[in-house]
Structure 1
Amino acid sequence: MKKIIAAACAAAFLLSSGCTAMPINSGSDIMRESVPPAAEEHSYTPLNYTNQVGMWLPYVKFPEIMQGKSEEEFRKAVAELLQDAAAENVNTLYFHAHPMGDAYYSSEIFPKGSYLDGDYDSLQIVLDEAHRLGISVHGWINPLRLQTEEEMNRLPDDFIIKKWINAGEPYVKAVNGRWYLVPSYPETVELLEAAIGEILDNYDVDGVHIDDYFYPATDEDFDREEFEKSGESDLAAWRTDVVSRYVKAIRDAVKSHDERLLFGISPQGNIDGNYSSQYADVRRWSSDKEFCDYIVPQIYFGFDNECCPFLPTLAQWEELVGGGVSLIAGLAPYKLGREDKWAGAAGELEWINDPDIIDKQIAAVKSSEADGYALYY
């Protein structure tokens, strides 16, 4: 990792350092743990909840609240968004800090996110405003996804990813016009550890969160050379192990900084789909706290969905979870008022015909063995 950090520092991608409400949860719901020896040097006590009500703040929302905004305007937009979230009982925010090889925080490794065109530190502002309201903040990263080929061409040649590309290193490959890290190499895992490290070293985040872009391709040619060198005979099993290794490395990087920080994973809601397209071993992760503290399957399905109806799918995830891992059900209010073309004839119009579907799903989650829910607007 030291080699990667040294190379990245040479790039000098430095960002500038740069409404009131009552706390939304009672103290009895806040996770309080004694300070382990490894965390004594950190003065910040992470804020997390035993019953999590999460909300994603993805980069696709950044043009609305960030692009073209002054620091004051961005802070105001964040404060209003979080106050609205608090009114919906949200106590945990997943902020998209590292969506695609970029940084919406002050980074010496990655270039500034394209939507952050002001001279301020967006992550720090989010932390300030969220913690003021008693809302926990988990830095959300996409581990493997990088810039498009066109975007990469515009970046300086001393960006570590571009150095690898220009040198013909195998650590990154293009898929459908976008670059991705190839996770089977130690160098790429070291870069992920470095990315986690600089966030945790410089910000009082309460956890780290990754979502469902676990593997860039199903095409056998994507990593044929690495697979053949491995000596293994089952490509899917090998890729699944590769993914679990880097997920474990991220988790360990978080815990080595402070055991009290949470690490969460948000896979797709279709359990079988995780294996067939993402090589994500959700059965293993859901039952072993050595991989994550909480898992947030994206159960973005209506009750009448013909492939994955909500209630049976939630029950399947309940059966998977154990070993101290918390289950947080991911819900999709963004679908309200829209056709669901993948739901089959029975469920295609459900999100239009039933405006109370999210309320019903929240009620179902509260009656289940899940430890909370999360909302994607």
Structure 2
Amino acid sequence: MIISLRGVSPVTQVKKIGTLVAAALLVVSCSSKPPSSLVTPSGNQSQPSVKSPQNSEPMRGVWLATVSRLDWPPVNTVNISSPAIRINKQKEALTAKLDNLKQLGINTVFFQVKPDGTALWPSKILPWSDTLTGKIGENPGYDPLQFMLDEAHKRGMKVHAWFNPYRVTTNTKPSTVAELNRTLSQQPASIFVLHRDWIRTSSDRFVLDPGIPEVRDWITSIVAEVVTNYPVDGVQFDDYFYTETPGSALNDNQTWRTYGQQYASKADWRRHNTQSLIEQVSHTIKQLKPGVEFGVSPAGVWRNRSHDPLGSDTRGAAAYDESFADTRQWVKLGLLDYIAPQLYWPFARDAARYDVLAKWWADVVKPTNTRLYIGVALYKVGEPSRKEPDWAINGGVPELSKQIDLNESIPGINGTILFREDNLNQPQTRQAVNYLKTRWGH
């Protein structure tokens, strides 16, 4: 079911939809003729050999978020009337961040290139992100992903392209819907107007339905486009798979009736859907460029021991049950080069102790070829908290120090990733940043 497109002839509608499907399955390379399809099915391939040679240097990474312009680009650059000045200021801001990160000893940036249903590169599948110009589909006049790669690599830093796979928008406001509808006349148009039948509302935002096989193909084709055309060092998915809240659940009942009747439960079917995407993306990346790493940064708790004897001694929201992501299984199957669980709690948080979870994950990866990086809650450092007061003691330095000490003392942990970049520039983290400079800095 494609939504009715007012004022557009049926022939034009079909052409537009056909163009989208063709683009989704045949990504045009700038330099050479692409293979007939860049989407590798998950069912007929052997598991990839995912462990690439690891540098002796541990991971010292940071997430750089573009959704809602959290870290970049600067909000005050978006509405500058002169494109040349806007471009210059956005580039200056990014290079300044990279200089700071280099000084801090950061060696890898996880750059959010797909914050929602838009792109920070000239995609043939997704419209341009409004984070750059304020308007979905408006060409910013330069290629932010290529610029990031050039500048980071110049400084000896790696870049992993960070994708949010299923999010289409961060809200469901009428103004957002109007802006998405306006993309219909653009090339490419938003998936929101081209395949309204793929769109659901969940957690008060528009998302893609993970249970539709064509949706998984489409997401995989987006990753393939980036891996084919850019020298990225890695690809990362964040923890947003099935996302829903009690007041805004994902209505996928019709999809479940269509595709899921052979599964014992809807939850099992949902986990199958999430794993199918991970398998497909993993195989496709390895087919295209075996040296590009693929990783996921899931919620820190896989399952609690109270629900599963294999789970951790925790009482937190579990990825397996909440977002239907069997992250432990993905590691066991060898689908990931690395996993970066978000362990955003202090040692003293009884419900989800940092050390308990870090050691649990180290045990999970031990018999596998998957590397383990730990996501650390830089955004909490220096912030007063009734439930987690340790973050504010001496600027959060003792807690941060303990976490990094643990990461560097357990052989199964290969590094640390900080969430997120702009928190390095805030007054409350000043002591922690000075500490990191003395520990990691150049």
Q: Structure 1: how far apart are the matches of 2:417 and 2:295?
A: 12
Do structure 1's residue 271 and structure 2's residue 287 form an aligned pair? no
The DSSP-based 3-state class of the residue aligned with 2:383 is: coil
Partner of 1:41: none
Do structure 1's residue 246 and structure 2's residue 277 form an aligned pair? yes
Structure with larger Rg: 2
Do structure 1's residue 146 and structure 2's residue 159 form an aligned pair? no
Q: Which amino acid aligns with 2:172?
A: E
Query: Could you list the runs of 4 or more consecutive aligned residues of structure 1 that deviate by over 4 angstroms after TM superposition?
Result: 8-11, 218-221
- Residue 221 of structure 1 deviates from its aligned partner by 6.3
Q: Which amino acid aligns with 2:123?
A: S
Partner of 2:13: none
- Residue 54 of structure 1 deviates from its aligned partner by 1.4
The DSSP-based 3-state class of the residue aligned with 1:307 is: helix
Matches within 5 A, 1:63-74: 63-64=73-74, 67=78, 68=80, 70-74=86-90
Q: TM-score, normalised by structure 1?
A: 0.81
Contact 2:384 2:392 in 1 (8 A): yes
Structure 1 residues 179 and 267: CA distance shift in structure 2, 3 A: same
Partner of 1:305: 349
Partner of 2:338: 294
Contact 2:149 2:159 in 1 (8 A): yes
- Residue 211 of structure 1 deviates from its aligned partner by 0.6
Q: Structure 2: how far apart are the matches of 1:337 and 1:303?
A: 15
Structure 1 gaps, min length 5: 12-16, 18-45
Q: Which amino acid aligns with 1:360?
A: K
Partner of 1:324: 369
Q: Structure 1: how far apart are the matches of 2:122 and 2:164?
A: 17
Contact 1:175 1:216 in 2 (8 A): yes
Do structure 1's residue 228 and structure 2's residue 251 form an aligned pair? no
Do structure 1's residue 350 and structure 2's residue 373 form an aligned pair? no
The DSSP-based 3-state class of the residue aligned with 2:63 is: strand
Do structure 1's residue 84 and structure 2's residue 91 form an aligned pair? no
Q: Structure 1: how far apart are the matches of 2:17 and 2:323?
A: 27
Q: Which amino acid aligns with 2:165?
A: P
Q: Structure 2: how far apart are the matches of 1:228 and 1:215?
A: 17
Contact 2:73 2:94 in 1 (8 A): no
The DSSP-based 3-state class of the residue aligned with 1:350 is: helix
Contact 2:202 2:250 in 1 (8 A): no
Contact 2:220 2:277 in 1 (8 A): no
Matches within 5 A, 1:1-377: 6-7=19-20, 49=55, 51-59=58-66, 60-64=70-74, 67=78, 68=80, 70-117=86-133, 118-147=140-169, 148-150=171-173, 151-155=176-180, 156-157=183-184, 159-166=189-196, 169=197, 171-217=198-244, 222-229=251-258, 230-231=260-261, 232-272=263-303, 273-289=318-334, 291-321=335-365, 322-340=367-385, 344=387, 348-354=388-394, 355-356=396-397, 357-368=399-410, 369-377=412-420
Contact 2:298 2:319 in 1 (8 A): yes
The DSSP-based 3-state class of the residue aligned with 1:140 is: strand
Q: Structure 1: how far apart are the matches of 2:109 and 2:144?
A: 14
Q: Structure 2: how far apart are the matches of 1:367 and 1:100?
A: 37
Contact 2:202 2:245 in 1 (8 A): no
- Residue 49 of structure 1 deviates from its aligned partner by 3.7
Q: Give the aligned length.
A: 333
